A and B are shown apart, each in its own frame.
Chain A
Amino acid sequence: MEQIMRRTADTGFTVTSKAHTPELAVAPGAPGPLEIDSATIKFGDVTALTGVSLSVPAGQFVSIVGPSGCGKTTLLNYAAGLLPTEVLTEGAITVFGEQPREGRPELAYMLARDSLLPWRTALGNAEFGAEARGVGKEARRKKARQLLARVGLGAFENAYPKALSHGMRQRVALARTFCLGADLMLMDEPFGALDAQTKMQLEELLLELWQESGSTVIFITHDLSEAIALGDRVIVMAPRPGRIVADVPIDLPRPRHITALQTDPDYHKLYAHIWSSMEKAFAS
């Protein structure tokens, strides 16, 4: 697999990242899912991101961690084509080699809140994304059913969101996201509002679904333990202005189990390592 060597500016430590790519058919030399080259994003006079470079190979699970205001959501929104292109004042950001644009079929976006449509049943919500992308009724319904069963909600197909718990609603949102079969998934703190127990269950579920899909994931979180447990690589960002201060490979073997990781010394070593580098970066 491809080796990425990079030296991060502020912390000054060199990291090697091993891209986790299952047997994915990617033509050699094909443009990566997400390429960011010394990008600076400004909203008027406010610099949201500065000098950000990041190359994400296909199939990699990238966790981006950082405090609020570090521009991680801005990065995601730009990649999703939700921001006007003018805000990128320097550098380049490309998605599969092209300018980001809204509603690209290769791309799925998962929000912090479940954003389920309350007037649709769990099944109706799970198939909503595929429906929006013009997948035929039969095909999308079949896939949505499978995914609902997969996230443990097979018996709740006809339940409306108000009847579901937070965790269950976010499970439906996971089903909706994976129902798209997108090659690149952008996730903006999808489990941020959940309690610890539910969060672990959903992380486990996400890892399973992702491993079957072979998609590339950009996962934003403010929770370092979550970032390490899920990612092939943890990008640490710092605020004001938003920038990358560390890019750490996570070589924990896969498949991973979130509960087993809690007692894994390697996992805790990585946590301590990244934590101290974060402290150093934020102190300066």
Chain B
Amino acid sequence: MKPVNQKVSNGSVLIMRIMVTAGIFLLWELAAVQAWIDPAYVGRPSGIFNSLVSGLIKEGDVWGELGWTLSATFLAFALGSLTAVIVGMLFVLFPTLEKVFEPLLAAMNAMPRIALAPLLIVWFGLGMGSKIAIGFSLTFFIVLQAAVAGGRGINQDHVTLSRTLGLSPSRLFWKVTMPGAVPVMFAGLRLGLVASLLGVVGGEIIASERGLGQKVAYLAAAFDMNGVWALLFVLAFAGILLSWALDRMEAWLLRWQ
């Protein structure tokens, strides 16, 4: 079938989006009212809304947990990606180093690293340290691959030009290799940020003193499905906010693209 060639204005797309989203929630609420589904298991939009109002405004207890989770995510992402970029650039500069570490890294990369979480929790405790460690372990490998690919993808014309100009290896690295690697690195950073949040929340669910993940696990165990949904929406929103911040940074750093 041929796709219909239609021109739709941004305004009507926005209206359609709102309608579809509202429609889903209305249908869900209707299903709960008509007892087609059991709200005790599935939750219901009105209940979720009440939970959100309570958690964010009346009690306000969600903010503290959100702050805790976001702090851990930020630290895991910052440390993980910084380390990955440094190690990646060392690999680009000294290919032998990469060859030596390759089997070790390949094994660690192939393993589902969230399985490290129990170990890391034992090592670093129930506080933020273990969550940062889990987020770090996920982010590091993702960003490392992107950093190495970016560093390797240097334009050969730039190398030739730099050689004829007598650019020293260190200046070639800072003036040509690094800036050229940034676009590819950002693809890895974007995934790495999501992985950091995943690692932190996953760690919180497994065992934690604080954080949104811990609260999700607690509410699910208490069968407060509306509360769980409310926190999931908060987490989704936090994820979107983090990605948006990264987008802004990328747009500024890569304004030449």
Contact = CB atoms under 8 A, between A and B. Distances in A.
A113 B180 CA distance: 17
A87 interface: no
Contacts of A107: 164
Given A82-B160, A111-B157, A113-B157, A118 B257 contact: yes
Interface string A117-146: 111110000001101110000000000000
A118 B162 CA distance: 15
Nearest to A163: B256
B205 interface: no
Interface in B35-57: none
A103 B157 contact: no
A178 interface: no
Contact of B165 (A118, A129, A162): A129
Nearest to A82: B163
Given A107-B164, A132-B166, A132-B167, A115 B155 contact: yes
B interface bracket (residues with beta carbon within 8 Å of A): 20 to 34
B256 A115 contact: no
A104 B166 contact: yes
B167 to A, nearest CB: 5
A102 B163 contact: yes
A109 B155 contact: no
A115 B166 contact: no
A194 B133 CA distance: 54
Contact of B161 (A109, A119, A131, A161): A109
27 contacts: A81-B164, A82-B163, A102-B166, A103-B164, A103-B166, A103-B167, A104-B166, A107-B164, A109-B160, A109-B161, A109-B164, A109-B165, A111-B160, A115-B158, A115-B160, A118-B256, A118-B257, A119-B179, A119-B254, A128-B165, A132-B162, A132-B167, A132-B171, A160-B256, A162-B256, A180-B165, A186-B164
Interface of A: 80-82, 102-105, 107-109, 111, 113, 115, 117-121, 128-129, 131-133, 160-162, 180, 186
Given A81-B164, A103-B167, A105-B166, 10 more contacts: A104-B166, A108-B164, A109-B160, A117-B179, A119-B182, A131-B175, A132-B175, A133-B165, A162-B257, A186-B164
